Structure 1
Amino acid sequence: MTDKIATPSAGHVSKAAFSLSKLRRSPLTLLVHLSVLVIVILWTLPTAGLFISSFRDKDQLALTGWWTSLTNSEQNLVDRTGAPDSQIQENGVYVLTGQVLVDGKPTQVQAFGFSSRAPTAYKPGDVAEMKNGGSLSMTTDGHYKMTSLKPFKGKRGKRVFYTAIVPPKFGLDNYKEVLTAEGIGRSFINSLTVTIPATIIPILIAAYAAYALSWMKMPGRNLLIAVVVGLLVVPLQMSLIPLLRLYNDIGAFFGVGAKTYLGIWLAHTGFGLPLAIYLLRNYISSLPREIIESARVDGATDFEIFMRIVLPLSFPALASFAIFQFLWVWNDLLVATVFLGTGEEHMVLTARLRELLGSRGGNWEILTASAFVSIAVPLGVFFTLQRYLVRGLLSGSVK
């Protein structure tokens, strides 16, 4: 009787080899995943901070960072005592009493003062000697007592400065201020009026040009491709002034006034065409040659091939460029300011948000809410077309 030697099956061998290969690659794979995770966190953290800050109270936002948004903070505040008609007379001294409140609630006072020059000069329990023989005292829970040898006069109470521990405050006040600002709705419509044509027009022109540079034989085609690639590196700022002067001269010749939507449409079309042609040409040239040749053998013209075959197959590349162009035009401020100006009639959303800051940026706290108001539409466009983005960018890169 012979002994049978058990031999591993092919399936077990392949599984063992796969496990061994997976084990060998695991450190590198772990490093790649960790690197991606770090990049995602570093990329997302500022946006998350901006989002949290957009709901914070303006005063707290100006004093502390978003990472302290869930903790109490010290704030220098100012309040008024009761009106002079509430004063009482004690032992020949006029007295005003009361309690400082934060959002209608008692607070913990750290310091106080009666002058804006020294708002934290005294600690709770101290007696601050005021001018004209008066005094001011305040307890830790905010109860104050102000005295004067002469009667208090005026219709409003006296100012009291103090430093208090304030709990975190969140709300929609920043968004309300931005969304209810005068002219914000008109500026939103103006931005759509600029962005939609400035996205569609370059796509239409670039699609025809990309097909011609990919499948139509013509003299100087390679030179044209080189010119398109060279235009990708031309700084926008170098061409703004010459382009504006040319537009004004043409407008004056034909009796068309400056500061119109036509000018900014043409400007964005010119700035976006090099990237659009380059991107679409790479994609269209990667389409199978057999399809194009078969259509030509069947008697189709170049226009029919483009409309019936190339254009439907190129939708991922068209969507990819549409995302880039829409984001660029929607967030643009420089070109809009040069070609449309800052008049109320044509002011775009980015220019309107800049005006809300004031001439000296004194209202900068609303920038956080303004950022999320302005990116709402681009985010909608991106998430609608994002499945085509990578496919459109990578198609044609490898043959």
Structure 2
Amino acid sequence: MTEHSTAKVVVIGGGYAGTLAANRLTPGGVDITLVNPRPEFVDRIRLHQYVCGTGEAAVDYAPILGDGVRLLVDTATRIVPAGRVVELASGAALDYDHVIYAVGSTGAPPSSVPGAAEFAYSVAEFEYARRLRARLADAPRDAPVTVVGGGLTGIETAAELAEQGRAVTLVGGGTLAPKFTESARRSILKWLARNGVAVLEDDVVTEVRAEAVVLGDGAVRPSAVTVWTAGFGVPELARASGLRTDPLGRLLTDETLTSVDDDRVVAAGDCAAPSGEPLRMSCYAAGPLGAQAADTILRRLAGTEPAPLGLAFSGACVSLGRRAGVRQFARKDDTAIDFHIGGRLGGAIKNLTYKFGVLKVGREARKPGSRFWLKGTPRPQRTAATPS
């Protein structure tokens, strides 16, 4: 039996994973509604450029959304599996046969660090980035800026600010770019040093003040603007809906990305925890996971068994300003190998990844089913729950 011609699919979240999944579902007459809180697509990997005024992150949905997808600007507040309804902040509700849960990840300064929630800024979402951009526009060019977090977002933000002539301190909280090899990290550190970034790799920020930060040893450093990039979280929608999650809030699924509680709910992107072992949160993984989620639903509608997840990594990129970067290569299991490309060539490779993020989503709108990815060995399968 198949529901393919009449099925209603609600995709919650219009980022890389959700938009690509919605586009992939368009053939065959499926009724698709994409629920997103913003009327524009956010090219999230460019938010640090948007903050510095060197790039834009908001993209019109028109050229990248398939003709068969209805965009609804609203926020999902609860999924009701028993009634197959998605409740919205506007008070409306959407009936569904299947849901793709693609709410992504978020980040905000933690309340556990005194003053962070009050005085620090985030680049994790468009609204946060817009607030930071306005603050930087008001700050004198020589005002000290502190970037907290030694991951790729922190490095890229610090580098972009430094290239704009800002006085930047990067507080790493441990090893910078922990997924990179030592030689690749040295390349990053050299660029940061040449461009005037003071790197406190092993220090932590224990308090944020209006015009300063306090480090782990009690030292107080001036900071007119503090940018918090350490750590990411996941929206609470799954928990609020009574669906099981991992400790971070990612939806627990089997290896077909199907919720372990209800096989009419399929996850994609940063908010998915297949078999409780999520993949690295990244734009790299978001597209394939969106495609996988769509394929899982299409197979069920066709009465065939969904395939288990198979995604191989190839490495990661970090930009260092507008003209330099580092491309770290990795094994399929996402462990780094001792080979990287730095300098201008590394920057050129990173600039291609910026372009491909949105282009791949748009290509899926024009040619549904065209998205392909480097396949890895499928992980051990876990069976999903019986549908309600």
Flag the structure with larger Rg: 1
TM-score, normalised to structure 1, is 0.19
TM-score (norm 2): 0.19
Pick the structure with more strand per residue: 2
